[in-house]
Structure 1
Amino acid sequence: MNDEAIKNEVKVCMFDQYGTVVDMQGGLTQIATPFLKAKGWKGDPNAFVTWWRRTHFENSMIDALLHRQHTPYREIGHRSVAHVMDRAGIDYTMDEVRTLVGEIEKLKPFPEVPEALARLQTKYQLVVLSNGDPDMLETAKAHHQIPFDRVISVAEANSFKPHVATYTKAAEIMALRPDQILFVANHAFDCIGAKSAGMRSAFIDRRSRPFGITPHQPDILVPSMKDLADAIV
C-alpha cells in the first residue's frame, strides 16, 4: 500500500489512545516513582509499570477470550496493579490501587502529537478506538486536549482489542468500509487486529522494535506521529 492510495481512499485516521496518543509508560512511571519510594520498594519504577501494563494486557486478553460479559478496563486495571504489588511484596490498600489506576485518565500526549494531529485533521476525521471505559475516555479529554471528532470505547463491542468485533463495530459507527480507515497504533497487536479486520494500519515505532513476522504487516511504519503526518497529509 502506497501513501498516495491512503491519501486518496482513507477518510478516517483512527487511533489507539493509551501509549499511542498519550505517554502511558512515561506518565505512569512518573506517578509510580514517589508512590513506590514511600512504600520503601527498592526496585525500578519503570519495570513496575511495565509489569503493570503487561499484566493488564494479559488479563484483558483473557477477558476477551472468555467471551462472557465484558469487564470494564478500570476493573482489569485494579486486578492487575494489585497482582503486581502482591508479586513485588508491597503492602497496599484498594484505595491506593484505585488511585494509581485513576491516573491513567490524566495522561498527557507525547510532545509531537498535538501538532501532528492538527495537521492530520486538515484532511481526515480523527477518531479514537480505545480499550478504556467510556467515562475514563471522557475525563481524559480535559487532560490531552486533542479535539477528536469521535471517541469510541470498545465497551460498545463488548470486548477488548484486538477482537475483530471492536474494529468492525468502530467502522459501523463511522458508517465506513474498514478499508476507508487507517488505524494508528504504537502496539503491533493493535495494528495486526485492525489489519486483519480489513482496515489499513500505521505502526508508530517509537521504541525502534521489530514489528514481527505476521501476514498482517502495517501499511505505514514511521518513528513518530509527525512522520505519519509528513507521509499522508
Structure 2
Amino acid sequence: MILVFDINETLLDTAVLSPLFEKLFGKAAVRGEWFLTLEETWMTATLAGRYLPFGLLAKSALRQTGLRHGIHIDDDHQRELTDMLAALPAHPDAAPALAELRARGFQLTALTNGTLETVQHQLAHAGLDTSFDVILSVDSVETYKPSQPAYQYVADHWQVSTRELVMIAAHGWDLIGAASAGCRTGFIARPGKVIDPQLFEPDWQADSLIALSRQLMEEISPNSGEAICKG
C-alpha cells in the first residue's frame, strides 16, 4: 500500500499567512476567502483545459480578493504571499506521524498542486523532505487535483493501479477526486475543515495525522495489495 499525502493545509500550516491578510485587509479571516478563491481558480482552469502554475494562480486569487474588497494589491504584496507560501511550517503532528509510518514500512508519496521546485523548497524548509520516498507535482501532467489524471500520475510513477494508493488530505474535494480515480482515502480534520458524510465518506478519518496514521497501521499491511490514497 502506497500512502499519498497532500501538502498545503494537510501537512503544512497556512495559518501563518494570517498576518499578511490582517495587514492588507484588516481581517485575518480573509485568508480563508483567498484560499477558496484560489481553489475556484485552479478548478476552473482545469475544467477549461487551461493549466497555469500554482504560484501564478495564488497571486491571481490575491488580486481577485483585493478587487472584491476594494484593496489595491501590488507586486510586493504578491511577492510577499509567494515567499510566505514557500516557508510554511509543518503541523506539529506531521513529522512524527510520517516517521512512524516509514518505520512500519509504508511507502510515502507527496503529491502537490504546487510546482515541484516550490514543494521541494517547502518540505526542506519544514524539515519533511526526507520523509518521502518520492515528491510529485501535478505540474508534470499539467492538470490539478481533483482531476483523475493527477492521481493516475502517482499510480503510473509506482507502476501500480490506483487501487494500491491511499490519498490523505484535509480537503474533501481532494478525497472525492481520489476516490473517483479508484484510490482509498483518509481525511484529516484540520481546524475549519469538515466533510459532509451525506456527500462522501472517507475510508479513514481523524482529528490528527498521528491518530489517522495509527488507524492505517492497525488496518493495513504495508506490503499488501490493497489500495490507499492520501492527498
Q: TM tier, shorter chain?
A: 0.7 to 0.9
Counterparts of 2:7 and 2:97, CA distance in 1: 15
Unaligned runs of 5+ in 2: 218-231
Count of residue correspondences: 213
For the Cα contact (< 8 Å) 1:32–1:100, is it kept in 2?
no
Counterparts of 1:160 and 1:85, CA distance in 2: 24
TM-superposed deviation, 1:32? 3.3
Q: Which amino acid in 2 is paired with 1:222?
A: A
For the Cα contact (< 8 Å) 2:172–2:195, is it kept in 1?
no
2:11 match = 21
Counterparts of 2:55 and 2:102, CA distance in 1: 30
TM-superposed deviation, 1:48? 1.2
1:151 corresponds to 2:132? no
Counterparts of 1:232 and 1:138, CA distance in 2: 26
2:186 match = 202
2:66 match = 85
1:32 corresponds to 2:21? yes
TM-superposed deviation, 1:113? 1.1
Could you tell me the TM-score, scaled by structure 2's length? 0.87
2:221 match = none
Q: How does 1:159-174 map to 2 (within 5 A)?
A: 159-174=143-158
Q: SS of the residue aligned with 1:21?
A: coil
Q: SS of the residue aligned with 1:160?
A: coil
1:217 match = 201
Q: How does 1:1-233 map to 2 (within 5 A)?
A: 10=1, 12-24=2-14, 26-33=15-22, 35-36=23-24, 41-42=25-26, 44-45=27-28, 47-68=29-50, 70-122=51-103, 123-146=105-128, 147=130, 148-207=132-191, 209-214=194-199, 216-233=200-217
Q: Which amino acid in 1 is paired with 2:58?
A: G
TM-superposed deviation, 1:98? 2.2
C-alpha spacing 1:89/1:56, structure 2 compared with 1 (3 Å): same
2:228 match = none
TM-superposed deviation, 1:19? 0.7
Q: SS of the residue aligned with 2:155?
A: helix
Could you tell me the TM-score, scaled by structure 1's length? 0.86
Q: Deviations over 1:75-132 (max 9, x none)?
A: 1011110111122222331232122123111101111111011001122111111100
The percent identity for this pair of structures is 27
Q: RMSD between aligned alpha carbons?
A: 1.5
Unaligned runs of 5+ in 1: 1-9
Structure 1 runs (4+) greater than 3 angstroms displaced = 30-33
Q: SS of the residue aligned with 1:184?
A: strand
Q: SS of the residue aligned with 2:86?
A: helix
For the Cα contact (< 8 Å) 1:15–1:185, is it kept in 2?
yes
Q: Deviations over 1:45-82 (max 9, x none)?
A: 1x2101110110000001000113x1100110111101
TM-superposed deviation, 1:31? 4.0
TM-superposed deviation, 1:212? 3.9
Q: Deviations over 1:175-203 (max 9, x none)?
A: 22211111100000111111110111101
- Once the two structures are overlaid, the 10-residue window that deviates more, 154-163 or 90-99, is 90-99
Counterparts of 2:197 and 2:115, CA distance in 1: 29
Counterparts of 1:15 and 1:173, CA distance in 2: 15
Q: Which amino acid in 1 is paired with 2:69?
A: A
